[in-house]
Structure 1
């Protein structure tokens, strides 16, 4: 008993696979379409469908060409022998022209519509001439119309035939042009059923209404009415008596799409209402019963259509919920693959970092052995041929080794020549003492030079290891951010959906990626019409803020490309603090190019960075160096690498880039906008100041400028800023600029304390003006001052207590 559902599912899957094999692999779809298109005609005697379909199959599915030919000939023969003759003649003429064109060009696809036009025109005129013995102007006109329609239909069938002859990939969706072409092809196929009746019911009417029902249910009112208009227009061309079908199908598709919320019953009711109204309007009371019966059969067929088939069709139509869900599922798979790849790369960088770090550590541990190897080389050149070798190195090894280490140490310190007592003891102990001493002095310089190179190599490996570890950490964090979508927030999503629905706001879909405090990330899909006046910022975001007890703002929109579609809105946490900045700068002597550079940047991790760099000297060269330093800093910080590693990397790059004497200072402040905590990194820069009410706090570091040493030691100064604190950063041209001032720090603190304004730009301008006035209006050095005020971030809209609304 337990295997029953599994057995049914297995047999259903096998049946579906077999049906797809027959329809697509064997070409039954091609046969069915060809047979109906062979029967299709418009305006009594115009046959524009057969040749375009054959040409499309010939180009797209050449292995099914014979099936298409036989199906078209068979369908035309069921109408009349003349239709069969014309169909055969047009296809034969197409082959003749195809052979002719193939001799001159290989671009067959682009010429197919023109070949069809010429073939249809030639075949029609030839058949008319054989039947009548002459050709009049009317025949030429009708042949040209038929050839023109065939030309247009060929371009349409070239796009739509592949959609019915083979299965489209799961992640592919139909473009608007493809949908229209497919509708035209289906309507043309149904034209072949014009004279098929079952008990006065038209098979054509039943299937066209069924097609409109499916389109309205899958894609809504716009596509439903479009299908009705196109289908009705083509059917009215085939039979002028069916002209009222155009309005009937269009109106029914519109009503069915509008009643889509009522599921299948609502769409079917829309068809019944449209059928009744249009039939009464055209005053065909005798046909009302038959028309309603045709609509009822179409509705029954629609109700019996499997849900799975409807869902599969909906996945291909942009703007539908099924298409959106399918695309989201595809994106989740892509994100999983991307996250896995990034994690693998992170592991590779971590392994490389560990390899570099371990290799450098081992070499550092072996430094003592290097000295032993050096002394071994000295003894090999001097003691190897000495007759007292065994006495020195076998009987008195420790004493001899201590003497050699002392000689090495004295030579290194430069005191060997002055230590005559030691030299006498050594010469008395060793018969080749002077030779050993001279050789140590000669070889020691080379030894320490090699040691220095190895030390630099170790430092470089250590720096590379730190950089690789930093890159690994960034990639690992990025992979975790991508994987956060896997977290199960279904309960919270349902809670938000229920809250909004109870409040009367239509929400289609909610995706919660992260609910961490200060890092909320939510995507919501709503109808495009629901955000025409900024309702997301004014209503939805404040309601989410009340639910999560945190200020939420709109981070971005993704509008629908289709009418009556859905808009995707991204919501995120608002930062608790904001930074307002003011900047003043001046070049030495009032020039245009300053050696100082500054930068203010908002980083992706919710941090705000302010930086000042002062290049050595003045002018163009200093400007380029300081600007390059900040450019590198910005790129590295925006990648997420730790600020200490970023500064070490910049120092390494500037040290290796040129052999000239060149260095720059760097004053960096990074403020976390979530809690206003700040980190200061001062590399050869002047102090910064924080004005907090009447207090002035100095922030100072003691690191050397970048580029002087191969390895820079970065000290990080942490400070907790508060609301309305004013941070003032400056270059040495401002700090040391005032003339006749002994204590620059006290002078600057006094000027900051005397400030009567809290506007950052006014503060920057005032300090710049004070320094220039103290110099009698002359600018002695490049000057830059950056002022930042920490402000509480106030949301535009207050929260809306949605829970209290629910309670009521």
Structure 2
């Protein structure tokens, strides 16, 4: 018989393995869903919990658990209250018939009092603990009186203790019971809710006091199991808390369990400390605590039993599925699962926000497309239709009553139409005048030629006004489309920025903190937001020591050596000096910097200049220099130019493209007033990463670049802002270099020199003769030279801005850091 091919057997076996694993997971999921449905949805978990709480005692006499549990269930899940009541009475009956009767009467009395009190009490949750505490306190007094026939001080104290415990337990159960009744809990647990849950679980386990399996105490096994679970999930802090709380409640239920509290607390601490060893490490912690406490606290005869109880708890713990512990860990603060759940929630909120912003971006883009859609018909068809309407209006007032109407329009339609179309065109183009030849021919052809001329002239006035209005509407529509598109692009970029998740740089943060502290600099906290080349973003919290410039002189140079690029202090916050801390933000430095100088003067030496200027570094790695010259002089010109500069600055800082920004400003200024008030704009945008520059000149004078002995002129032809509702912006691009001087000026400087025929050649020569490259000195020298050539008179507002492009040389050299990898 031929042997089967091994290569065929292995895939089949692998498929069977995957199939079996899938079937196993499906079965586990099915069982889990069934158990959730049976215990939580149908409420049988409340029946079981009620049974255990019904038989739970405090100080061997008090039963403060039953009524608070029923009251909380009644208020939160009223349809499941009968199941809870059945469980409570059944549990109390295992103690004695008197306890069962007392529980039933207390519940019945609570229902009557609470239903009556609901009419006067607004908040049932706030009043519930008072109802429960008073009923149980009075019930305990009545029970003591019926049993002994008298009341003693001891009876009053016990009644007060029971009332106080029931008051507190009601508050705890109100927080904890939703955890037993909600199948899928989305919210994360607060610390108070966790403590309440632990108290409730410990209270439930007191119902197992007295139960034994093969001489092993069930309450000891379950309490140690509970400590193992929480130590494994949340570490030593929560583990020891669970041990102390559980042991305390057990000691209240039975004084003999006081030693057990020490064992639970110690095992919680050891188990939490050894949680890195997974379940085995936590289990070893319980065994060590059992040995130490068992040998110290009790005789050797019970040590073996205590070890067996701990072994049973460890067995249960090892058999606990990973799914259960991982699911519980999501709700406990401090765990990695809790942190992951929070990050998942924040990521979801971030994605939802980014999606909404992107949707708004799409809306603005759609609106832009709607405004920018041209008419379906072509311009020729539209012109023909408008010509037909125009011709109809003319013929209605001239040819309609003419005796030659039939001759002209029925027999010679094309000839008549061509003549009138040509006349309309000529009158439209030549301001009402018609060529002599056309006039002579039309006079021979038409008997009412004079009347036709007059009607066409009249109708042409309305036609031209209508055409101008349509043109303005089209231009305004196009401008609105550009503005909406600009807003759409800004919102889309904002959406992308939101979606850029902050990377986790825990290892790098620790290494940077360690390197700085080894150098002797104390750092409270380091947060890295980005390590991208050229876009480093790091925040630090450092102790404040009289501000000797540690951030700029020490920390930034050390970061420069660590990260392999120049890092500078962008911002240092001094608002936390009162509590001894200072916050500093470190960023990548730009490759180029711009050093500027400005000289300006008002006409005739006045105080108010019609020129305005601005030099701002935008948050996008760009530097903007702008000069605006308002028409005329004085306060009104200053207002117009200053308004232009302020609008430009605010729009550019939003990230909208320069051309759209200028068109928007032009629209605002042209529609704001009917006065013929215009302003020029000279804008230079310099990229600080590569020194490339874009120049947008709107009615402004030329700018000049001085590169050594070479002078480069920058010029563009655009009308001033506010003159036309729509215009195209010419953009001139130029690559700047380190050492270049960019000189921009208003027309008062460029055209200021008297007795000069060629302003451009004169300005180039003066710039070339400069012996300094300091921006402020250059601006002052140019201004002084212009005023001197005008015999000391200032005939117009004058402004000169000079910018020098320089390599960004760090003020402080990098400090070598030992034992630190570059770009950790």
How far did 1:279 drift?
Answer: 3.5
| 1:120 equivalent among 136, 140, 147 | 136
Residue pair 2:706, 2:767 contacting (<8 A) in 1 also? no
Residue pair 2:677, 2:722 contacting (<8 A) in 1 also? yes
Residue pair 1:735, 1:748 contacting (<8 A) in 2 also? no
How far did 1:706 drift?
Answer: 2.3
Q: 1:418 to 1:268 in 2, by over 3 A?
A: closer
Whole-Å separation in 2 of the counterparts to 1:748 and 1:129: 114
Whole-Å separation in 1 of the counterparts to 2:300 and 2:475: 97
Match for residue 391 of structure 2? 375
Q: 1:60 to 1:641 in 2, by over 3 A?
A: same
How far did 1:747 drift?
Answer: 6.4
Match for residue 530 of structure 1? none
Q: 1:431 to 1:765 in 2, by over 3 A?
A: closer
| 2:729 equivalent among 711, 714, 721 | 714
Whole-Å separation in 2 of the counterparts to 1:119 and 1:78: 23
How far did 1:311 drift?
Answer: 1.4
How far did 1:515 drift?
Answer: 10
| 1:183 equivalent among 195, 198, 202 | 198
Whole-Å separation in 1 of the counterparts to 2:23 and 2:281: 35
Q: 1:60 to 1:660 in 2, by over 3 A?
A: farther
Matched, 1:432 2:451: no
Match for residue 206 of structure 1? 221
How far did 1:131 drift?
Answer: 1.8
| 2:158 equivalent among 142, 147, 151 | 142
Matched, 1:165 2:204: no
Whole-Å separation in 2 of the counterparts to 1:307 and 1:377: 89
Match for residue 528 of structure 1? none
Whole-Å separation in 1 of the counterparts to 2:791 and 2:205: 93
Q: 1:360 to 1:677 in 2, by over 3 A?
A: farther
Show structure 1 runs of 5+ residues with no match.
507-511, 524-532, 557-568
Whole-Å separation in 2 of the counterparts to 1:49 and 1:662: 84
**1:387-398 to 2 correspondences below 5 Å:** 387-393=403-409, 396-398=412-414
Indicate the SS of the match to 1:42.
Answer: coil
Matched, 1:91 2:107: yes
Residue pair 1:222, 1:254 contacting (<8 A) in 2 also? yes
Match for residue 462 of structure 2? 446
Match for residue 665 of structure 2? 650
Residue pair 2:41, 2:183 contacting (<8 A) in 1 also? no
Match for residue 333 of structure 2? 318
How far did 1:470 drift?
Answer: 3.3
TM-score (norm 1): 0.80
Indicate the SS of the match to 2:614.
Answer: strand
Whole-Å separation in 2 of the counterparts to 1:348 and 1:468: 9
Whole-Å separation in 2 of the counterparts to 1:570 and 1:192: 58
How far did 1:500 drift?
Answer: 11
| 1:246 equivalent among 248, 261, 279 | 261
How far did 1:449 drift?
Answer: 0.4
Matched, 1:266 2:299: no
Indicate the SS of the match to 1:669.
Answer: strand
Q: 1:215 to 1:417 in 2, by over 3 A?
A: closer
Match for residue 529 of structure 1? none
Match for residue 218 of structure 1? 233
How far did 1:55 drift?
Answer: 1.8
**1:386-535 to 2 correspondences below 5 Å:** 386-393=402-409, 396-413=412-429, 422-477=438-493
How far did 1:212 drift?
Answer: 2.0
Whole-Å separation in 2 of the counterparts to 1:113 and 1:90: 14
Whole-Å separation in 2 of the counterparts to 1:40 and 1:584: 89
More deviation in 726-735 or 361-370? Answer: 726-735
Matched, 1:236 2:251: yes
Q: 1:734 to 1:105 in 2, by over 3 A?
A: farther
Match for residue 295 of structure 1? 310
Q: 1:778 to 1:346 in 2, by over 3 A?
A: closer
Whole-Å separation in 2 of the counterparts to 1:237 and 1:248: 16
Q: 1:416 to 1:27 in 2, by over 3 A?
A: closer
Alignment RMSD (CA, Å): 4.8
Whole-Å separation in 2 of the counterparts to 1:318 and 1:788: 55
Whole-Å separation in 2 of the counterparts to 1:730 and 1:68: 87
How far did 1:607 drift?
Answer: 3.5
Per-residue CA shift, 1:644-674, capped at 9, x if unaligned?
1222122223323333444444343333333
Indicate the SS of the match to 1:359.
Answer: coil
Q: 1:697 to 1:400 in 2, by over 3 A?
A: same
How far did 1:214 drift?
Answer: 1.8
| 2:294 equivalent among 272, 279, 283 | 279
Indicate the SS of the match to 1:105.
Answer: coil
Residue pair 2:608, 2:635 contacting (<8 A) in 1 also? no
| 2:26 equivalent among 10, 20, 40 | 10
Whole-Å separation in 1 of the counterparts to 2:485 and 2:497: 18
Match for residue 6 of structure 2? none
How far did 1:711 drift?
Answer: 0.8
Indicate the SS of the match to 1:313.
Answer: helix
Residue pair 1:485, 1:513 contacting (<8 A) in 2 also? no
Match for residue 669 of structure 1? 684
Match for residue 68 of structure 2? 52
More deviation in 425-434 or 39-48? Answer: 39-48
Match for residue 196 of structure 1? 211
Residue pair 1:608, 1:670 contacting (<8 A) in 2 also? yes
Q: 1:585 to 1:215 in 2, by over 3 A?
A: farther
Q: 1:408 to 1:695 in 2, by over 3 A?
A: same
Whole-Å separation in 2 of the counterparts to 1:41 and 1:194: 9
**1:574-593 to 2 correspondences below 5 Å:** 575-577=590-592
Indicate the SS of the match to 1:708.
Answer: coil
Q: 1:498 to 1:125 in 2, by over 3 A?
A: closer
Q: 1:415 to 1:279 in 2, by over 3 A?
A: closer
**1:753-764 to 2 correspondences below 5 Å:** none
Match for residue 561 of structure 1? none
Match for residue 26 of structure 1? 42
Indicate the SS of the match to 1:668.
Answer: strand
How far did 1:193 drift?
Answer: 2.3
Match for residue 526 of structure 1? none
More deviation in 40-49 or 175-184? Answer: 40-49
Show structure 2 runs of 5+ residues with no match.
1-15, 516-527, 540-549, 572-583
Match for residue 39 of structure 1? 55
Q: 1:323 to 1:724 in 2, by over 3 A?
A: farther
How far did 1:736 drift?
Answer: 7.4
Q: What is the aligned length?
A: 767
Indicate the SS of the match to 1:192.
Answer: helix
How far did 1:158 drift?
Answer: 1.2
Match for residue 565 of structure 1? none
Residue pair 2:592, 2:805 contacting (<8 A) in 1 also? no
Whole-Å separation in 1 of the counterparts to 2:128 and 2:458: 89
Per-residue CA shift, 1:696-752, capped at 9, x if unaligned?
655444433322210132121222233465656566677778999998876698589
Q: 1:422 to 1:579 in 2, by over 3 A?
A: closer
Matched, 1:70 2:86: yes
